[in-house]
Amino acid sequence: MPRDNSIKKVLVIGSGPIVIGQAAEFDYSGTQAVESLKEEGVEVVLVNSNPATIMTDIGMAHHTYIEPLTLDFVEKVIAKERPDSIIAGMGGQTGLNLSCELYDAGILDKYNVRVIGTSIESIKEGEDRESFKELMERTNQPIVESDIVTDVESAVEFAQKVGYPVIVRPAYTLGGTGGGIAENEGVLREICTQGLHLSRVGQVLIERSIAGWKEIEFEVMRDGAGTCITVCSMENVDPVGVHTGDSIVVAPAQTLSDKEYQMLRSAAINIINSIEIKGGCNVQFALDPNSYNYAVIEINPRVSRSSALASKATGYPIAKVAAKIALGYNLDEIKNAVTGKTFACFEPALDYVVLKFPRWPFDKFFGAKRKLGTKMMATGEVMSIGKSFEAALLKGIRSLEIGQYGLERKSSKTRSLEELKKRVVSPDDERLFDLAEMLRRGYKTEKVCQITKMDLFFVDKIKRIVEAEEELKTMSVSDFTEQSLKYYKEKGFSDKAISNFVGCKPPEVYALRKKWDIMPVFKTVDTCAGEFEAQTPYYYSSYDTENETRISNNKKVMVIGSGPIRIGQGIEFDYCSVHCIKALKKAGIETIIVNNNPETVSTDFDTADKLYFEPLTEEDVLNVVEVEKPDGVILQFGGQTAIKLANFFDEMHIPIYGTLPEQIDEAEDREKFDAVLEKLGIKRPKGKGVWDVEEGIKAAEKLGYPVLVRPSYVLGGQGMEITHSEEELEKYLVEAFEKDKKNPVLIDRYLGGTEIEVDAICDGEDVYIPGIMEHLERAGVHSGDSISIYPPQTISEDIKKQILDETKRIAIALKVIGMINIQFIDYKGELNIIEVNPRSSRTVPYITKVTGVPVIDIATNVMLGTKLKDMGYGTGICDIPGVVAVKVPVFSTEKLPRVEASLGPEMRSTGEVLGVGYNLENALYKGFIAAGMTVPKAGSTIIATVRGKDHEEFVKIAQKCSNMNCSFIATSGTAKALKNAGIDCKVVKKISEGVPNITDTIRSGVVDLIIDIPKKANDTNSDGFKIRRTAIESDLTLITAMDTLNAMVNVMEKNINKDKLDIFDINADMR
């Protein structure tokens, strides 16, 4: 059917903040959908609470609302914009659920909005547990049998029916406590009895165990005429038992015969046909490795993480095609954008291997429980493309930026074989390396397969890499012949890995490669394995014969992306990279992007003129440079990943646009930077690097407590603490030096003032500041985790002037060309500088949207040599809008067992939302709601446990709550403080005081807000840590900083009526 012309205005719902399990992939699919709809002349209305996305850019959709993704606010958007249609499947689970809620609440009917694409009825059939069961029965598809039981006998009866082993999962306990696998009746009785006891509702789910089966996914599409295609099959290298988001995934499936493959493919198609999907759908199967038996695990009737991966793995733009199908087109009417000739109605053929690796946050959360299971823990992922499994695997490993270039890992090497065996059976993030270590020590390959249930095909490939590594170890660099070096390069080893194993420096290997002309070629990802001529400029490297890149004589610039999403380096940097590309394109320059993150917009093949899907290491990036010979590279937008490459580029004499490496170094090296500040007469908190405990204590005495302490060798606030007394400091220092004697600990005076942040653009002469942002939480909370307010609310004009002045002087002194980010503290009217980043920062998308200043566009042009004043941006600061916009951080801590949940100097948030209002409280209200927090109403019950030194401040705030008829439950110390101030409160036992204690009260569901202001973070044995974990695991709003609490109480006092709040179209309403 051709396009349905009655569709004129479509509402697209985004997926909200980045959290574990819902990351940048939905910005990619959402952006594609919006553009695909616009291409067809549709007026697009977009709602998404996440300001860091490309999709929420000014001018992307026709009307963009960065508002909370709740029923009320989306209804407001519908009432205001009156779209005629809504597309449900573009915003992940959030968008899907919200669409269903809008439908169920009758809002879609009320405003005559029809659902295009897959219908709500179809969605529900796939999503609801019961109807899914029915659907599978109707389509004759096997599922994993399960039953909910309330007594042990029923459990035993069920297990007898389906056979052992069975999995027992108690209902409503978190992190699977009390569950387990029962191999026989005796064990089942034991686990079940315990599970029933632990479950709040006395229920356990009994499920037939399919652990160890192959996990296979299909991405399928169906149009309104019933034509179905499968875009891609994917196989998890880790069998069933590890969440697919935490598994190494390979595309296409590697170990299935055609019979097995077609059996599952047909099943996937039958399923989507019978629920009448119109668009994309993901179907997950478990396949018995020893028979044709299989089970459908789940289906996702929407775009997903897997569909983003499938799109990047094949070149087939699933979201784009799904949007066209929603408009009425059939698959054979949609052009294949890759070939430009064939149609979207075909199945991509791959002539390479794609691997996806999860990126876990355990480098930041070292206390976390790292065991992988059915709940996803990875924050991001990388994808690698190679001609062989080994080459793709090695590319993937070096893309992760975990200091690995091969399979030999320090930590694995120290483990005994017994220990390794135990670890690979119960996998964590190091399984691949542990497994490789076992093979290295001669442990039997078949046995590894047996205990891990991993397919021999994969284990054998890993073994081959290990064997090659061992061969290399016996060689020296002079042993290489042209043939042997070529062999290892074809295998996929990087120069760095080779040099590590043979014991030389990477440039020596590089020199040999130059001598023998062993250079990679670039192959095209074309959806059709070379069968048709392709127009896609999408490449990956391979040591092969024919190079396929077509090199132009145009002026061209290479942009280095930011790699996998991790704590501290999120989607914001992809936003910056994409905007840089857009600006370059606008300037008539050919653009080249190098990146390895499949979730992103930057790795969409039509973002840049050329896409190289490659690891972001020196060697891999150099390969691209040597083929493309760009006029220069831009590093400022790819976060630390790109900045890290600066010195290398300098050494290789590759021109860098923007601030030069020497200056970058000046800003990042503490001593050099101190010298710059000294010269400029700009203040920073006094500090000292110390080498032992005694020296530290002396230094602190001089500086005065509290002091900020951190190890000198880490970035991103890791291991940073504020110590208030000699006792605390001593404890910290003893531990720090025990861990590492070779590096100093930095001790700075801690200034508990207001933190202020600016992003500025400097052209070497002038400096332009789009805006000053004020942090709600005082210094001590990582800037990425504090609520950021624009325009600033409490900063004096004097300080603002001073900020402007100092920013300008620093930028000029550091010879910044392009972006600079500076953080200040306003401590009792005195401005101190705490950090300078000579690159684009995480606040850039936020400040761009709230000020309307095209920050990246300007910065890119500055880097190309245009002066600020010639662009109409002189010196100074952008005008301030008539609204207040707050950026509120969002955490995924509930998904990461044993991770600290309080705010502190270490960054922990994964994403952010925006709240916009005519005043601060309205903006904060929206920000809190959008971040999933509850703003308590008058009369709420609040549980509080506050450290002694904050009692005075707390009591003042508590008084306000008390005036609003809120009641308090507190632990003894806090209760005493409240009672002394005449505030009534119930005392609750601390955990150490027996049961029922504070955690039981939290779990009981009577509490609306939990306040826990900790003395010390990261102490997993402390009461506070357990209270905070209980709070977030019970999905309750937890506040851990006095300033956040104060702000929330101020919002409560306003008694905001959400029905009366305005919504803002950022395209039009912000000024």
Partner 1 sequence: MKKKVKASLILENGTVFNGNAFGYIKETVGEVVFTTGMTGYQETLTDPSFAGQIVTMTYPLIGNYGINLEDNESDRPYLKGFIVRENCEVPNNWRCEMNLEDFLKQHKVTGLEGIDTRMLTKLLRQNGTMKGIITTRELTKSQIEQKFNTYTNKNAVREVIKDEPYFINGSGTHFAVLDCGIKSGIIRSLANRGCKLSVFPAYTSAEKMLSVDPDAIFLGNGPGDPLDLPEVVETVKELIASGKPILGICLGHQLISLALGCKTERLKFGHHGGNHPVKDLASGTVYITSQNHNFVVSDLTEDVEPTFINVNDGSIEGIKHKKLPIYSVQFHPEANPGPLDTGFLFDRFIKTVEEVKTHAQR
Site string for partner 1, 172-211 (x = CB under 8 A): ----------------------------------------
**967 forms part of the interface with partner 1 (CB under 8 A):** no
Among 77, 107, 166, 353, binds partner 1 (CB under 8 A): 353
Q: Cβ 882 to partner 1, closest distance in Å?
A: 54
Nearer CB in complex with partner 1: 265/1026 = 265
Question: Can you say how many angstroms the Cα of residue 277 is from the centroid of all Cα atoms in its chain?
Answer: 29
Q: For residue 1003, how many other CB atoms are within 10 A of its CB?
A: 18
Residue 994 carries which DSSP code?
A: -
Site for partner 1 in 222-241 (CB under 8 A): 225-230
Among 256, 886, 978, 1047, binds partner 1 (CB under 8 A): 256
Peptide bond just before 252 cis, omega within 30 deg? yes
Which helix or strand (DSSP H or E) is residue 43 part of?
A: strand 43-47
Q: Cβ 333 to partner 1, closest distance in Å?
A: 10
Among 150, 160, 184, 266, binds partner 1 (CB under 8 A): 266
Nearer CB in complex with partner 1: 272/580 = 272
Closest to 774 in 3D by CA, of 886, 698, 856 = 886
Q: Say if CB 237 and CB 250 are below 8 A apart.
A: yes
Site for partner 1 in 539-558 (CB under 8 A): 544-546
Sign (positive/negative) of CA torsion 471, 476, 480, 486? positive
Nearer CB in complex with partner 1: 314/892 = 314
Measured CA angle at 302 (ends 297, 306), to 5 deg = 65
Among 97, 254, 549, 647, binds partner 1 (CB under 8 A): 254
Q: For residue 965, how many other CB atoms are within 10 A of its CB?
A: 10
Q: Cβ 885 to partner 1, closest distance in Å?
A: 48
Q: Cβ 182 to partner 1, closest distance in Å?
A: 26
Residue ranges of alpha helices (H) inside 346-481 are 389-399, 410-413, 417-425, 431-440, 445-452, 456-473
**Which one of the spans 137-145, 521-529, 619-627, 832-840 is the region binding partner 1 (CB under 8 A)?**
521-529
**852 forms part of the interface with partner 1 (CB under 8 A):** no
E runs forming strands in 294-449: 294-300, 353-359, 380-386
**517 forms part of the interface with partner 1 (CB under 8 A):** no
Closest to 310 in 3D by CA, of 371, 268, 364 = 268
Nearer CB in complex with partner 1: 350/975 = 350
Measured CA angle at 1042 (ends 1036, 1045), to 5 deg = 45
Q: Say if CB 625 and CB 654 are below 8 A apart.
A: yes
Q: Cβ 226 to partner 1, closest distance in Å?
A: 6
Nearer CB in complex with partner 1: 290/553 = 290
How far apart, in whole angstroms, are the C-alpha atoms of residue 493 and residue 498?
Answer: 6
Q: Cβ 383 to partner 1, closest distance in Å?
A: 17
Rg (CA), the chain: 29
Nearer CB in complex with partner 1: 460/1069 = 460
**Which two structure tokens, joined as six digits, stand for 422?**
């135990």
Site for partner 1 in 275-304 (CB under 8 A): 289-291
Among 76, 265, 556, 775, binds partner 1 (CB under 8 A): 265
**140 forms part of the interface with partner 1 (CB under 8 A):** no
**451 forms part of the interface with partner 1 (CB under 8 A):** no
Peptide bond just before 165 cis, omega within 30 deg? yes
Among 104, 157, 533, 674, binds partner 1 (CB under 8 A): 533
Q: Which residues pair with 300 in a beta bridge?
A: 282
Q: Cβ 509 to partner 1, closest distance in Å?
A: 17
Nearer CB in complex with partner 1: 114/341 = 341
Q: Cβ 335 to partner 1, closest distance in Å?
A: 11
Nearer CB in complex with partner 1: 266/476 = 266
Q: Say if CB 607 and CB 579 are below 8 A apart.
A: no
CA dihedral of residues 673, 679, 685, 687 (deg, nearest 10) = 60
Site string for partner 1, 400-439 (x = CB under 8 A): ----------------------------------------
Q: Cβ 605 to partner 1, closest distance in Å?
A: 18
HEC letters along 913-932:
EEEEECCHHHHHHHHHHHCC
Residues 6+ apart with CB under 8 A from 762: 768, 808, 811, 812, 816, 817, 818, 820, 862
Nearer CB in complex with partner 1: 268/929 = 268
Q: Cβ 1068 to partner 1, closest distance in Å?
A: 43
Nearer CB in complex with partner 1: 252/911 = 252
Q: Cβ 502 to partner 1, closest distance in Å?
A: 14
Question: Can you say how many angstroms the Cα of residue 62 is from the centroid of all Cα atoms in its chain?
Answer: 27
Q: Say if CB 1011 and CB 1039 are below 8 A apart.
A: yes
Nearer CB in complex with partner 1: 273/866 = 273
Among 516, 532, 648, 705, binds partner 1 (CB under 8 A): 532
How far apart, in whole angstroms, are the C-alpha atoms of residue 839 and residue 818?
Answer: 8
Q: Is 1021 exposed, middle or buried (0-12, 13-18, 19+ CB in 10 A)?
A: exposed
Among 460, 726, 730, 740, binds partner 1 (CB under 8 A): 460
The DSSP result for 644-683, as a single string, is TTHHHHHHTT--EESS-HHHHHHHHSHHHHHHHHHHHT--
With tokens 């109480």, the residue in question is: 1049
Nearer CB in complex with partner 1: 352/846 = 352
Q: Cβ 527 to partner 1, closest distance in Å?
A: 10
Among 259, 653, 741, 742, binds partner 1 (CB under 8 A): 259
Site for partner 1 in 468-487 (CB under 8 A): 471, 484, 487
Q: Cβ 466 to partner 1, closest distance in Å?
A: 14
**257 forms part of the interface with partner 1 (CB under 8 A):** yes
**Which one of the spans 161-169, 434-442, 455-463, 878-886 is the region binding partner 1 (CB under 8 A)?**
455-463
Closest to 385 in 3D by CA, of 539, 546, 547 = 539
Q: Cβ 76 to partner 1, closest distance in Å?
A: 42
Label residues 574-598 b or e (16+ Cβ within 10 Å = b).
Answer: bbbbbbbbbbbeeeebbbbbbbbbb
Q: Say if CB 1055 and CB 963 are below 8 A apart.
A: no
Q: Cβ 143 to partner 1, closest distance in Å?
A: 21
Q: For residue 826, how many other CB atoms are within 10 A of its CB?
A: 24
Nearer CB in complex with partner 1: 362/522 = 522
Nearer CB in complex with partner 1: 518/944 = 518
Q: Cβ 472 to partner 1, closest distance in Å?
A: 11
Q: Cβ 407 to partner 1, closest distance in Å?
A: 17
Nearer CB in complex with partner 1: 388/959 = 388
Q: How far is CA 805 from CA 117, 328, 650, 811, in A?
A: 54, 57, 31, 10
**531 forms part of the interface with partner 1 (CB under 8 A):** yes
Nearer CB in complex with partner 1: 477/697 = 477
Which helix or strand (DSSP H or E) is residue 230 part of?
A: strand 228-236
Site for partner 1 in 88-127 (CB under 8 A): none
Torsion angles phi and psi, residue 722, rounded to 5: -105, 120
Chain residues in the site for partner 1 (CB under 8 A): 225-230, 252-259, 261-262, 265-266, 269, 289-291, 330-332, 341-343, 345-353, 387-389, 455-457, 460, 471, 484, 487, 523, 528-533, 544-546
